Amino acid sequence: MHTDLFDDNPADALEHVARRALDLRTRLHAHAHRYYVLDDPQIPDAEYDRLFNELQALELAHPVLQSPDSPTQRVGGKPLAQFASVHHTVPMLSIRTETDTEATGAQNFDTRVRKELGLTESDPAVEYVAELKFDGLAMSLRYEAGVLVQAGTRGDGQTGEDVTQNIRTIHQIPLRLPVAAPAVLEVRGEVYMRRADFEALNARQRAKIAQGIKGEKTFVNPRNAAAGAVRQLDPSIAAQRPLSFFAYGLGEVTAQENGGPEFTTHFAMLQTLALWGFPVAGQVERAHGAIELIAYHRRMGASRDRLPFDIDGVVYKVNALSLQRQLGFVTREPRWAVAHKYPAQEQLTTVLSIDVQVGRTGKLTPVAKLAPVFVGGVTVTNATLHNEDEARRKDVRVGDTVVVRRAGDVIPEVVSVLLEKRIEDARQFTMPHQCPVCGSLAVREEGEADYRCTGGLFCGAQRREAILHFAHRRAVEVDGLGDKLVEQLVDSNIIRTLPDLYKLGLVALSSLDRMADKSAANLLEALEKSKQTTLARFVFGLGIRHVGEATAKELARHFGKLDAIMDATEDALLQVNDVGPIVASSLRTFFDQPHNREVVEQLRACGVTWQEGEPAPRAFMPLAGKTFVITGILPNLSRDSAKDQVEAAGGKVAGSVSKKTDYVVAGADAGSKLLKAQALGITVIDESALLVLLTASMD
């Protein structure tokens, strides 16, 4: 801003600049509140930055205008030698933890409260406020005349650390209250880090480590990262850490001369905190009696893993402040509140060994065998390391002390290693290049993180999946051979490999659970019928990685005979429509395994046959390169029939709509796929238009 127009009267010039600075501060506070607290921004980031830069320039030009409540003061100040002490006039006391982590813990608390209040069974239910217990760092914010003047950690409850400069960097915390507030107001709450922000922070840390920057490290969990940021002596570094805040209580409150708000309930106090500009968790609820507390505990436990931040329990508080005063304290803990925790999701344990498991699709996964530890409500003895890259990034070794995490139904995983407890000569994990189950080659394709066993038809770990795929109706098709039956056949060791299907007898089948003689006879009939198939169906049924239905048809059409496919070089395979380098390599790897060729020969010996011929001439494929999605009910064609005809004309049929989709064929009751196609501007046609395209392809 230019002030030369006021050179004849400097006082007028400064007053004008001061008014503009005040206006900018007010507007920036309002916009920051909408962005960080309400998640409802009204202006784009660029406009906010423009206003911020203007205010910053004014304050630099006129230092007298700088104030502690200015948005420009969030960027941090000079590094501190150490933190000063903060005395809490109203102590920051801890609340009692309910040791029963089951839902019945809520019943225990309600029983104690009713007993202390002298209530009988005929008295009405006590009203509570149920809140989340955040896994962060407790904080007290002191405001005088509506301006943030001090922020202190809990410490020992009486004395904490002055972390004001670091707390100013948290955009959710107002530097000046937007409404009239008490002369002195201490707001109690929790500083935490959202999971997405934590992951982004660790990603940046890993990038720095990869660049060889010394002194950098990744963080174990959001709570430790948040606590480390708050207790960072250099506020400029703290400003780079993405922290958040929730308010949940009050400390010292001194009213103005004309009085302040008179609260009668804890819930009303939380509503007022929100009006004063503080973020209050949306999961706060009023609950009547133990039944509603139990329901809240269960509901929050079920949604715990879907929250954008970590919690380690819930908190119950008697809502009426008069009843809180009546209940009082015991050994410095309030009788009117309790923390009802969930089972811990992280624990320390020791790695006893590192094994490699083979999944149903052939994926090799390194798994840490652990000294048993109770975490997430169950005893954990195994934890996934995901893949070789993750195992090496975390550098997990046998004998290491590790942090193990289990959240909800998620498979337990090793989060990090305590390097200071590492034993000598601990060896780095190396992924084997042979399947530990069947000995087949394990390969890692370019651009993928996982190694996979190539012995699909032979590998015991993949047996169930291989049989189900082979029997699929779009493959060889064995009617009646479903999930449960295959599971019984495999678990009973009646079937060890695909050819065993055709060696089944009535006696063996009838001995299985829920398998009557008639059902067994029907299955044997279906198996006999499945021996007559097509080359394309047989190739698809082999379950070769990356070889789908359309590719199998192109291979059959191009080569005409199975032996020609099995013996084809990669260069020869690349001449086939729909076959690229990845598919060609996968085919070659599969048929290079003696185990897989042996299974194919045994299937032939069992009588599985198909018609073979000379390679088909390379036909004109008018729909080549076009991708279709079929949705809804077509008047005459079934989806399978429509799919077959599109693929016969060279087109691809996908299961979902994307920008790469060329046509969506929509019938009756078409749903979300049709809506998405319309939103993306993709051509939508009906069955008759599809038939026109197919007819044109035959001309």
Q: pLDDT (tens digit, 9 = 90+) per residue, 49-83?
A: 678 778 878 888 888 777 777 777 655 445 456 78
- Given this chain, do its domains 471-530 and 535-610 carry the same CATH topology? yes
- Is residue 609 within 8 A of residue 532, CB to CB? The reply is yes
For residue 627, the SS3 value is strand
Q: Count CB-CB contacts under 10 A for residue 488.
A: 17
- Is residue 415 within 8 A of residue 390, CB to CB? The reply is no
The dotted CATH code for 535-610 is: 1.10.150.20
Find the angle CA(218)-CA(220)-CA(223) to the nearest 5 degrees.
115
288 Cβ neighbours under 8 A, 6+ residues apart: 125, 126, 127, 128
Q: How far apart are CA 133 and CA 345, in angstroms?
A: 14
**DSSP result, 467-530:** HHHHTSTTTT--TT--HHHHHHHHHTTS-SSGGGGGG--HHHHHTSTT--HHHHHHHHHHHHHH
Q: How far apart are CA 576 and CA 556, in angstroms?
A: 10
Residue with tokens 């990845």: 582
- Catalytic residue, candidates 78, 115, 133, 369: 133
pLDDT in tens, 213-270: 887 777 777 888 888 888 887 878 778 888 999 999 999 988 755 445 678 999 999 9
236: amino acid identity, one letter: S
Q: Pairing between strand 627-631 and 652-654?
A: parallel
- Is residue 276 within 8 A of residue 177, CB to CB? The reply is yes
Sign for the CA dihedral angle at 465, 466, 468, 474 comes to positive
Residue 298 token pair: 């269960």
Q: Count CB-CB contacts under 10 A for residue 243.
A: 25
Which residues in the chain land under pLDDT 70?
A: 1-12, 32-42, 44-46, 48-49, 73-81, 256-261, 407-410, 617-620, 696-699
Q: How far apart are CA 497 and CA 490, in angstroms?
A: 9
Q: How far apart are CA 36 and CA 30, in angstroms?
A: 10
DSSP assigned state of 173: S
For residue 408, the SS3 value is coil
What order do you get walking across the sheet with 97-98 strand by strand?
97-98, 337-341, 311-318, 127-134, 285-288
How much is the pLDDT for 73? 66
Q: How far apart are CA 651 and CA 578, in angstroms?
A: 10
Q: How far apart are CA 280 and CA 131, in angstroms?
A: 10
Q: How far is residue 406 CA from its own chain's centroid?
A: 13
Question: What fold is seen in the domain 346-421?
Answer: OB fold (Dihydrolipoamide Acetyltransferase, E2P) (2.40.50)
For residue 622, the SS3 value is coil
Please, is 517 exposed, middle or buried when counting C-beta atoms within 10 Å of its C-beta (0-12, 13-18, 19+)?
exposed
- b (16+ CB within 10 A) / e for 63-94: eebeeebbbbbbebeeeeeebeebebeeebee
675 Cβ neighbours under 8 A, 6+ residues apart: none
Q: How far apart are CA 610 and CA 536, in angstroms?
A: 9
71: amino acid identity, one letter: P
Domain 97-341 homologous superfamily, CATH: DNA ligase/mRNA capping enzyme (3.30.470.30)
The ranges assigned to domains in the chain are 4-66, 97-341, 346-421, 471-530, 535-610, 627-698
Q: How far is CA 83 from CA 58, 92, 152, 228, 236, in A?
A: 31, 18, 10, 14, 15
Specify the long-range contacts of residues 433-439, CB closer than 8 Å, at least 24 apart: 435/358, 435/362, 435/364, 435/459, 435/461, 436/355, 436/356, 436/358, 436/364, 437/358, 437/461, 438/595
CATH assignment of 4-66, given 1.10.287.610, 3.40.30.10, 1.10.1740.10, 1.10.240.10? 1.10.287.610
Domain 471-530 homologous superfamily, CATH: 5' to 3' exonuclease, C-terminal subdomain (1.10.150.20)
**DSSP result, 179-199:** S---SEEEEEEEEE--HHHHH
Q: Pairing between strand 532-533 and 609-610?
A: parallel
Domain 627-698 homologous superfamily, CATH: BRCT domain (3.40.50.10190)
Task: Give yes or no: 133 in active site.
Answer: yes
- Is residue 145 within 8 A of residue 69, CB to CB? The reply is no
